Amino acid sequence: MPYRLCKTFEVENAHMLAKHPEKCRFPHGHTRRIEVVIRGDTLDRNDMLCDFKAIRLLAEEFLKSYDHAICVSSLDPLLPALRETRPDRLKVYEEQDPTTEVMAQEMFTYVAARLARTRRVTSPQTGAVYEIPPGLVLERLRLWETSSTWAEFYVPA
């Protein structure tokens, strides 16, 4: 597939890794950059693989659910206290630590499924309709934890 595009998102996010032997088992935050890379064979009638805004509308709501949220394992001993204080900004991972790798896979799975089944998205601000051409593939999703560390999930071609 000769064309690729990348749409980047940014969220502020916290997590705690119950299995970690040191400081990462405590709540801590990151400014996370999320890179969504899509590929395809042909350009649409607008000479684009897909409009960047269409990709934003496709993925943004789900990815924003991570913004100012704390991700935690269902096995974490602090989970009951977190459920009492901030249940609205809590993302619980069943029997898994919310590592950057695990989060990248979850994000990839959501965006890939949405890309496969969605043919158009509508801007809530303007009502403009954006087409999502058939045959696009989510090549990879890269989730940056810091400016020097990232994890990536992809399905080999």
Number of separate domains in the chain: 1
> Do the Cβ atoms of 102 and 94 come closer than 8 Å?
no
For the cut 90, the answer to whether the pLDDT of residue 1 exceeds it is: no
* Predicted structure pTM score: 0.95
Rounded to 5°, angle at Cα 123 from 121 and 124? 120
Report pLDDT digits (tens) over 48-90. Answer: 999 999 999 999 999 999 999 999 999 999 999 999 998 899 9
% of the chain residues with pLDDT over 70: 99
> Do the Cβ atoms of 79 and 24 come closer than 8 Å?
no
pLDDT value at residue 98: 98
- State which residues form the domain around 54: 3-154
% of the chain residues with pLDDT over 90: 96
Question: Can you give the CATH number for the domain in which 57 is found?
Answer: 3.30.479.10
Q: What would the two tokens of residue 57 be?
A: 């509308």
Report pLDDT digits (tens) over 84-129. Answer: 998 899 999 999 999 999 999 999 999 999 999 999 999 999 999 9
Cβ-based neighbours of 65, under 8 Å, separated by 6 or more: 91
Q: Tell me the CA distances in angstroms from 10 to 90, 92, 105, 144, 145, one per residue in order.
A: 18, 20, 17, 9, 11
